[in-house]
Each structure stands twice: as structure tokens, then as C-alpha cells.
Structure 1
Amino acid sequence: MTRLTRRTPPMAPGIVHLGPGAFFRAFVAPYTADAVAAHGGDWGITAVSLQSPRARDQLGPQGGAYTSVTMGPEGEEARVIEVIQDVLVAPEDPHAVQQALVAPETKIVTLTITEKGYRVPDLSDDDWPRTAIGLLVTALGERWRLGRRPITILSCDNLPDNGAATKAACLALARRLDETFAQWVADNIRFPSCMVDRITPATTQADLDRLEAQLGYRDEALVLHEPFRQWVIEDNFAGPRPAWEAGGAQFVRSVGAHEAMKLRCLNGTHSALAYLGYLGGHEAISDAVADPVYAGLCRYLWDEEILPSLDPPEGEDLPAYTAALLGRYQNPAIRHRTWQIAMDGSQKLPQRILGTIADNLAAGRPIAGLALVVAGWMRYVGGVDEAGADIDVRDPMAAALRAAHTGDPVANLLTIEAVFEPALAGDARFRAAVATAYDTIVTHGARAAIEDLI
């Protein structure tokens, strides 16, 4: 069978993207392709893999082209995306990455590097320039020295106020290098926040084989996603940008309310279904919400504990938004694995769940449902499921989390300040709610614990 190859001529690059994984290919690149199709412009993308050569090995033989497959209840629709012009691997050729970031034609750097990618490196570590923040700050320093025009750095990760988080990380490192340079970054580089939303399950070997038979070519970089997508972007750019609104992107003065809505409503219930659904034996999100008990959990969390914590974003109907979310979860074509969503929970839990709990405690609102989610995470990271089988816990703190299950797991885990703020961990109401929920899960199972709640 033939391999997919690029059909259109090369496009001048205007964007460098760090982290060319599945979400980037399902989201940022298609929006950019829509912008170029509608309004033109030199918006080719140089993609940079920060660790593995996998993306380069997949996309390189295809000239950067790949297939984006929309999976709806009514069927699949395939589209070839050709905005990626080159794929670099930072550990193999950091000089080429710096050249791309410093190039005069580069106007925007976009990021999908996950929560752990925003770590500010230690200058005593010889590898610090190869971290995401290290690469950015090193390139900004060279642009400053050469007198190049300022650029925009746009985080597309699920972080609260992701633009401010990116700016803070870059400035923290820049100040360690040169205070004058850091002031130039603060005054000239733009770090808009944005909210991104599109469910993108991991592509399996079976998906590759099935689509090869259907499409008549082999695409090792193929990506699958749901029909829905939403991109809300703070309108704060240092220079030109693609006409992303051609694909439906919304440009606003502040994304805070939209971001909180998505993090708490979607990501929060995704985590709930990931931990409690996995424990209950459900492989995928669609499997879990096909069970009325788990669908009822989502409705309970939204109505009783999440929506009361939110300020409605401009133009959004929150009950309608959550009703649409449940419909998206129920899409049988999307096999978004609970195990996949459960990854890196120690870094996701504070933004997705714990902030809502803290707000509800401060306002005197209920927390029993969200405490059950925390307890489900605690049970999950113990590494053994309800049938006694091992769980492959993927988390940067996996060893410490597993070790905490010696003795009193709830008390031990609540001492981990990287996950739990001391004020929250020390709140007697929170501790009691989590301990009760954990005991119920251990004694009766996750599904029965949900039934008790709702």
C-alpha cells in the first residue's frame, strides 16, 4: 500500500510549534489550514519535538502531510492537512530549533507541551537550554541581541491562565540570565491566554490499519478527533496572526471565564469518569456514560457542585453547554480511553478538581461529589484495581503516590504539597469527605459509591 505524500507546494513558515502530538494535529494545525485556505498568508508550521523523534519519523516521509479524521455518530470524514513544513527533533539538532525560533519570518510560537512542560529549568543543569522554557528564552535572548521584531508565544495547553503561566516561566528564567533582557521580554513579547477544546483519543494500530483500507494509503501520522472544536483566544498579539476565526476561533478580551468553564465542566468530569470509570471496569468514556450511573454522576457534578462555582462566560449558556458535553461523551465513535485521561493526575487534579472544591468550601457549597473524584484518584494511583489487577499508573509522581498507600492512604496523600495546598489538605470538611468516599470505594466499589452519592 502506498504512503501518504504531500501534494501541495511548500509554504513559507510563520509559526514554530513545540510539541507536535495528536492534539496539535487535531486542533492547531487544522485551524491554521482553514485560515490559510480562507485568507492566505505565510503561515506554514515548523514543528519541534522536544524529546522523541516519533513525530519526525511519522511526518517526514509524508512531507509533513497527514490525515485528520472527524469521527461522528453518523460516520467518519477524512481530510489531509498540509501546513506542517518541517519537523525538527530538539535533542538531535538544538541549533536548527534555535534557528527556526530566531528566524525573522517566525511571528508566532504555539505550544502543546502538557502541564509538566512549563517547569522553569535550573541553570546549574547542563540540559536547561533543551527544556521548552529554556529553548524559548534562549531564542528570545538571541532575537533581543539581533534586534529582531517581537513575537507572540501562545500556549494551547489546558492550564489556568496559560498565557500568564507561560510568561511567568519565561520571565523567571530570563531574570536569572539578564535583567535588561527580561525587561525587554516583559515589554515586548506577547503571551495571550487561550481555551482549547476538542476530544482527541489516542490513535491505535487498529485505527491505522482500518483507515489504510478505507483511504487507499498508509498514514503513520493519522489523527482522530470528535466533530466539536472550540478555540477562545485573548486578542493580544505582538504582530500578524493567521485568520483563525475562519475556522471558528473566537477572539476576546479575556478568556478567564471560558477557561474556567472548560477546565471545570469538561476536564473535571473527564477526570471523574477516568478514575471512577476505570475502577468500575469501563475502558472508554463513551462506555462509562452509557452506564446511567456514570451519566448521572456527570449531571450531579455539573448541577450541584461545578456550575455554582462559575461566572457564566459571555455568550455561553452553561446548562446547554453541559448538556452538549454529555452528548459529546456519548459519541460511540470516539474511543477516548479512561486510562489515557487518567495520566499525570497529580498535575491535573489541582486545576480540574481541587480549585472547585476550595471555592465551594469557601462559599459553603457541597463538595461530596468532587471529594468522591479525589478519592477515586487516590484509589487509582494505588496501582491495583477493584479486581486485584495491576494498574499501569502513568504519572511523574507514580512511585511516591504508590508508596503513600502504606498505612493510611488518604492521610498520606494529603501531605503531598505538590498536589494539595496545605490549607485545603488541612480543612477538616475536605479531609472527612475524602476519607468517607475512599472507604466507600474500597468497601463497595466505585459504581456503588456513585449510586450512594446521586
Structure 2
Amino acid sequence: MTIAPPRLSLATLDDLPDVVKRPSYLPDLLTQGIVHIGVGGFHRAHQAYYIDALMNQGKALDWAICGAGLRSEDRRARDDLASQDHLFTLYELGDHEDTEVRVIGALRDMLLAEDDPEALITRLASPGIRILSLTITEGGYCIDDSTGEFMAHLPAIQHDLANPGAPRTVFGFACAALQRRRAAGLPPFTVMSCDNLPHNGEVARKALLAFARLAGDTYGTGLADWIERQVAFPNAMVDRITPMTSAAHRQQLLERHGIDDAWPVVCEPFVQWVLEDNFCNGRPAWEDVGVQFTADVTPYEQMKIKLLNGSHLALTYLGFLRGYRFVHETMQDPLFVQYIRDYMKLDVLPQLAPVPGIDLAGYQDTLIQRFSNRAIADQLERVCSDGSSKFPKFTVPTINELIRSGGDLRRAALVVAAWALYLRGVDENGVAYSIPDPRADFCQGLVAEDDGLTQRLLGVVEIFGEQMPASPDFISAFEEQLHHLRAYGVESALRALVSL
């Protein structure tokens, strides 16, 4: 009879197989220096990974992470982590299948805002916390992409303005905690965005200042001015493909390595973090574990957002319509590979400035290899999610530049046409699926009828801006690609654009 291994915990660390790397530090002796809002797979495979690497060098032992969840959906994550002393396994999967298996102990607590908002405010206001880091998704900053303005009308924002002692958003929590720090004569914390946004630090700064100014004297006179003068908001480029952890991943980790982990994180071996050295209250020595510090992250983030994230969108809706469900499946299809290569080389690359230390041709080859990684089984559903928030950041800027320069619009128009058909919820094989987007009902309503679809869809300014619907050339390219997809399917549409 086989005896199941015990659940991962501090007490069972020494029982793990030798191949599993484990903390060289004592997690219980760490002190917290970071509160991170939005504990998910990416944060654990990226920021927590880098902190753990430093701690394994005997450094940054006062920079442990306290996670925080602002959504009801975060409860299961909190419970799973708490059940195993907040340890989790980082499971790298690549060409050689198991690349690295590492238990990370840098996360030492996780608070749920809806259970006790005061506890989170108190933690943020405590002197040891010097960084508030964020992965709250592209839409979490409440900035209207069409106007660049903060969306003060949103119900959650209005709630926080009316209930400063029981906030629900990152802005309410940050302002409440920063006011307490100011009143106590403490320095502020740095607000460090780790989301996939152009100039993510500037976006975080704009949103927080807008909220603080709307609040007026609610948190004390002059708080917004104090934040503007004292709080740092570094921009960052973050990169690591991190699929949703599946039951199959958990079972694989258990069978191959004897680790029973309720919520491991699965990721590719590649990892990159380019960060502006702009902190107001200290920071870990991340440069000692491979983080690249720079005075200007702009060329790196443009490279990553337009090439990686833009190419992800370019293949994901087409792949889903074709019947594929994993990224690597699309990359086994030579038509998809050539299409993505053409999109990167012909449409995106001419728009990019030189990137210090990066060979852009080699970077494109690396992306093809990463997208083709079978071992991590990255779900197309994950990449498809929140399209209404992703398009304005990842694809629309590329299309606008193609319009301005008179470039070939067909490949980029096909991306938008594929999303339009994807929103109808049925692939080419007749398989129905749900649309993982907070605005799914609205978006599906835009494409429900063929008549007037172009005007309804492209006319949504907060998604597509004003330039695309005003361009006869783009409208023509979009309608041509949409007709080709409807009439002949994904394979034919791709064959018409690529030469093999």
C-alpha cells in the first residue's frame, strides 16, 4: 500500500526529495517589508521568486511578503496557503520537462480585505512595510484608455470615497495607510506596479493621485500633495509566462517529486525584470539576483508589450477559433508560426527603438521557442481573458502606428477580426465556450448581429480609440479579414497572408 506524502509545510520540508530546492533561511524568522496586493501565479513566479533567491543568499531577510486579497475569489488562495504555512512550490517546466522545483518561503502571510479591512490598513501603515506592490490586472487601475482619465464613477471607487474606514480598492487602502504614516511621521512606502502596462508606475501614480484628490480632506488635509511629493512609483517591465495551475500540474508534481501542494505555481524557465531604480523607502538588492535596473524602462516595455503580449493576442483568438486550447498547440501549426513571425518582423519591429543589451532578432526567436513550450501547457483561455482591457495596451498602439505610416494592415486587422468572431462563443468545430472577460456581455452584444458590426465594435472608443474607426483603410482591412474568417475559416485566412 502506497502512503501519500504529507501536505507541504514547515514541518515536512526536510522530508522532501533531495532534487527539490528548499529555503536555506528560516521562514519563521523573516520580517515583512512588502505588502503585495493580487497574489496569483505571476506574482509568486516572479517577484516572490526573486525575493526568495535573495534570501537564499542570506540577504533581504527583512523583505518578506505579506499577501493581500481584495476579492472574494482570493479566499481559496488564502486558505490553501495558510494550510501549508504559506509555503508553495515553484515548478519550472521547459524543454527538459522538470527544469527546477523549488519551495519558496518568502510569502509569510495573506490577509483578506473583506474579512478585516482594518487589519490590512494597519499592516500597510506599519513602519516595516516599505513597498506596496501590485498585480491587479490592466483594468484594476481604473483608467479609461480612450481618455486617459481616472474612472471616478465606478461603484467601488464611489464606495471607498464614502467609506474611508472600510475600503475595497487598492486606492482606498493605500490612502488610508499613507495618511496614518504621514500622521505618525513615518516615510511612505513605494508603490510598485508589476502589471503588464506601458509605464505601469506612471499609471499607478496617476490613479492613486486622482483618487486622493477626489477624496479631498477625507484622509486629512493635503494628503494628495504629500503623495505627489513623497511617494515613488517605479516603472517596470516584467516577464514570465505563468499558466493557470491545473489539477494535472498538481498531480504531476505529486507523482514526480512527492510534493503535495494545494497551490503550486507552474512557469517557464525564462524570467526577466527590468526596473527603474526609483524607491522612496529602500528596496531589496534585486540586482544581485539578475534584476536589471535602468533609468528608463520604456524601450524594454515597448519591446515586451508589443512583441510578446501583442503576439500572444495575435495567435490566441485565431487558435481558439481553430479549435486549439493550448498555446503550444497553435505553435505546432506551421501556418501560425509563420503568421506570428511575419507579424513581429513586418508589423511590430519597425516601430521599436533600439533596446540596450537586447538583440531584437534573437528576442523574436526566443519568443517562438517560449510560445512552443509544451511542458507548461499554457492555456489559450488564460491568454484570451480580458480582451477588452488587453487590446488597448497590446494591439491598438501597433495598429495606430501602421495606420500613420501607411503600413500593411491585413495581419493586425486579422487579430481584431478573430476577436470579433471569438466573442460569439463557438469555434469552427461547433464547440461552445464562455468568454472570460468582465465585460463579456457588453462585448458579445457588439457582435451579436452581422449588420452594423464594424461600426458597433470599432466604435467602442475605450477599446479601440478614435484613430481605427476613422481609418477607411483599416475598416476595409478589418471587413476583408472578417469576411474571410466567416466564409473560409482560420486556415484559409492565414494561408492568404503567409508564404510557406
Query: Which bracket does the TM-score occupy, shorter chain normalised?
Result: over 0.9
2:315 counterpart of 1:273: yes
Q: Deviations over 1:61-100 (max 9, x none)?
A: 1111100011011121210000111011111111111111
Whole-angstrom CA distance in 2 between matches of 1:269 and 1:323: 12
Partner in structure 2 of residue 116 of structure 1 = 139
Determine if the alignment matches structure 1 residue 50 to structure 2 residue 70: yes
Where do residues 30-109 of structure 1 align in structure 2 (5 Å cutoff)? 30-41=49-60, 42-51=62-71, 52-76=74-98, 77-109=100-132
Look up the SS of the partner of 1:53 in the other structure.
helix
The one-letter amino acid of 2:269's match is P
Matched to 2:47, the amino acid is V
Q: Does 1:294 align with 2:332?
A: no
Distance 2:88 2:280 in 1: 30
- Displacement after TM superposition at 1:282 (Å): 1.3
Matched, 1:193 2:235: yes
The match for 1:142 is 180
Q: Which residue of 1 aligns with 2:389?
A: 347
What count of residue pairs does the alignment treat as equivalent? 454
What do residues 119-168 of structure 1 show as CA deviations (whole Å, max 9, x unaligned)? 25555425672112222222222222222112111100001100000000
Which letter does structure 1 place at the counterpart of 2:66? T
The alignment status of 1:412 with 2:456, answered yes or no, reads yes
Q: Which residue of 2 aligns with 1:5?
A: 9
> Residue 239 of structure 1 corresponds to which residue in structure 2?
281
CA deviation map 1:297-317 (0-9, x unaligned): 111001110101111211111
SS of the counterpart of 1:424? coil
Question: For each residue in 1:378-431, what CA deviation from the matched residue of structure 2 results, as whole angstroms up to 9, or x when unmatched?
Answer: 111122222233221011221111111223322211121221112322211111
Tell me the distance in 2 between the aligned counterparts of 1:200 and 1:441.
Answer: 30
- The answer to whether the Cα contact below 8 Å between 1:12 and 1:43 also exists between their aligned partners in 2 is yes
**TM-score (normalizing by structure 2):** 0.88
Contact 1:273–1:338 (8 Å) recurs in 2: no
State yes or no: 1:447 paired with 2:491.
yes
Q: What is the CA–CA distance in structure 1 between the aligned matches of 2:344 and 2:163, rounded to whole Å?
A: 43
Distance in structure 1 (CA, Å) of the matches to 2:90 and 2:163: 35
Contact persistence 1:380–1:391 (CA under 8 A): no
Match of 1:303, as an amino acid?
A: K
Deviations 1:200-239 (A, max 9, x none): 0111112112211222231012010000000000111112
TM-score normalised by the chain length of structure 1: 0.97
Spell out the pairing of 1:8-23 with structure 2 (5 A cutoff): 8-10=26-28, 11-23=30-42
Cα distance in 1 for residues equivalent to 2:104 and 2:325: 30
- Any conservation in 1 of the 2:400–2:467 contact (CA below 8 Å)? no
Cα distance in structure 1, aligned partners of 2:252 and 2:402: 46
Match in the other structure for 1:166: 204
Contact 1:15 1:109 in 2 (8 A): yes
Return the alpha-carbon distance in structure 1 between the equivalents of residues 158 and 170 of structure 2.
16
Give distance in 1, aligned partners of 2:54 and 2:163: 37
Q: 2:467 aligns with which of 411, 423, 427?
A: 423
Q: More deviation in 209-218 or 443-452?
A: 209-218
Distance 1:44 1:342 in 2: 33
What is the one-letter code of the residue matched to 1:4? Answer: L
2:213 pairs, out of 144, 160, 175, with 175
Alignment-derived partner of residue 379 in structure 1? 421
The RMSD of aligned alpha carbons is: 1.4
| Aligned equivalents of 1:39, 1:214: Cα separation in 2 | 30
CA distance in 2, matches of 1:292, 1:124: 50
Contact 2:27 2:108 in 1 (8 A): no
Report how far residue 39 of structure 1 moved: 4.8
Q: Which amino acid in structure 2 is aligned with residue 248 of structure 1?
A: G
Distance 1:144-1:440 versus aligned 2 partners, 3 A rule: same
Q: 1:24 aligns with which of 43, 65, 80?
A: 43
**Contact 1:3–1:217 at 8 Å: present in 2 too?**
yes
Q: C-alpha separation between the residues in 2 aligned to 1:104 and 1:226?
A: 36
1:121–1:134 CA contact under 8 A, matched in 2: no
Distance 1:35 1:266 in 2: 27
1:72·1:331 contact (CA, 8 Å) conserved in 2?
yes
Q: Distance in 2 between matches of 1:147 and 1:255?
A: 32
1:264 aligns with 2:306: yes
Q: Kindly provide the CA deviation profile for residues 160-191 of structure 1, in whole angstroms up to 9, marking residues without a partner as x.
A: 10000000000001112236211110110000
Q: Which runs of 5+ in 1 are unaligned?
A: none
Could you tell me which runs of 5 or more consecutive residues in structure 2 were left unpaired when the two chains were aligned.
14-25, 143-150
